[in-house]
Amino acid sequence: MSVALSINLNKIALIRNSRPGNNPDLLAYASQCIELGCQGITLHPRPDQRHVRASDVTPLAELCRLHSEIEFNIEGNPLEGALADYPGFIALVESVRPDQCTLVPDVSDQPTSDHGFDLNKTGTLLEPIIRNLKDQDIRVSLFMDPDLRQIQLAKEVGADRIELYTGPYAGAFDEGCYQDILEQHQRAGQLAHEIGLGVNAGHDLNLKNLPEYRSVPYLAEVSIGHAFTLDCLQTGIESTMQDYLAVLA
């Protein structure tokens, strides 16, 4: 079974924000990714708007709606409130009602997401948020480490899917000692499926480590931005898209 590829636009937005104007144009880039065969578009709009801005969300949502086969995914911390012209994460999600909302336990001063939820601490807080999103026909995924007990709790608080945090796997792959952590992810994928959760994955996945990670059972979707952007610089967007889609087919 093929694994869906969702392209995260944050790094492209970061490049755009480094200069005045609108270059590169996120809508044009997303359109090109869609034309070349990706199955989804992912945004992670943070309150400081250092990459994707709140004003980017609606135009990109409208673009994805023009392509019924494309999944629109917004990820972020559900507890982030309003800041200047950032309306708050949940308010932003509710304004466009994406196909999927991936809840992530990062905070504003983190350079990037670096751990999954500890649902022993936050499960009670997340449960009504998850219920509210699902009532709006938004699929909810939780960013999780491959901890079997935590994955069980993800089901109990009402999530539809988990997104396995693959940063440690990618680091171990670079060191050549990844088999143990890959097996953890394989067990996590199996358990998630058995209890009725879909399985996504993301963070530092690339063309080198994806073929091995593809062995995680029931993997439905991967979200890739940083590595995809770097590979585009080397080989161009068309060739890069073909390479990722071939690995995931």
Q: Dig out the tokens for 38 from the structure.
A: 């990706």
Q: How many helices (DSSP H) and strands (DSSP E) are in the chain?
A: 11, 8
Segment 229-238, tens digit of pLDDT: 999 999 999 9
d(CA 115, CA 183): 18
Q: Which CATH class is domain 4-248?
A: alpha beta
At 73 the pLDDT is 98
Q: Is 23 exposed, middle or buried (0-12, 13-18, 19+ CB in 10 A)?
A: exposed
Torsion angle of C-alpha atoms 229, 233, 239, 242, degrees rounded to 10: -10
Q: Residue 113 — very low, low, confident or very high, per pLDDT cuts 50/70/90?
A: low
Strand boundaries in the chain, DSSP class E:
4-8, 40-43, 71-76, 100-103, 139-144, 161-165, 198-202, 219-224
Looking at residue 161, the DSSP 8-state letter turns out to be: E
Interval 180-208: pLDDT, tens: 999 999 999 999 999 999 999 999 999 99
d(CA 35, CA 114) in angstroms, rounded, equals: 31
Which positions are annotated as active-site residues?
44, 75, 203
Residue 199 contacts residue 218 (beta carbons within 8 Å): yes
pLDDT at 174 over 80: yes
Query: If 0-12 CB within 10 Å is exposed, 13-18 middle and 19+ buried, where does residue 147 land?
Result: middle
- Summarised one tens digit per residue, pLDDT across range 16-31 is 999 999 999 999 999 9
Distance of alpha carbon 243 from alpha carbon 237, whole angstroms: 10
Judge whether 90 and 83 are in contact, CB under 8 Å: no
**b/e code 25-40 from CB counts within 10 Å (16+ = b):** ebeebbbebbebebbb
Residue with tokens 């990109």: 60
Alpha-carbon separation of residue 19 from 14, 23, 162 (angstroms): 10, 8, 36
- What does the domain layout of the chain look like in residue ranges? 4-248
pLDDT at 107 over 80: no
Query: What confidence tens digit (pLDDT) does each residue in 42-78 have?
Result: 999 999 999 999 999 999 999 999 999 999 999 999 9
Q: What is the pLDDT of residue 109?
A: 62
Instruction: Answer left, alpha or beta for residue 118, where phi above 0 means left and psi between -120 and 50 means alpha.
Output: beta
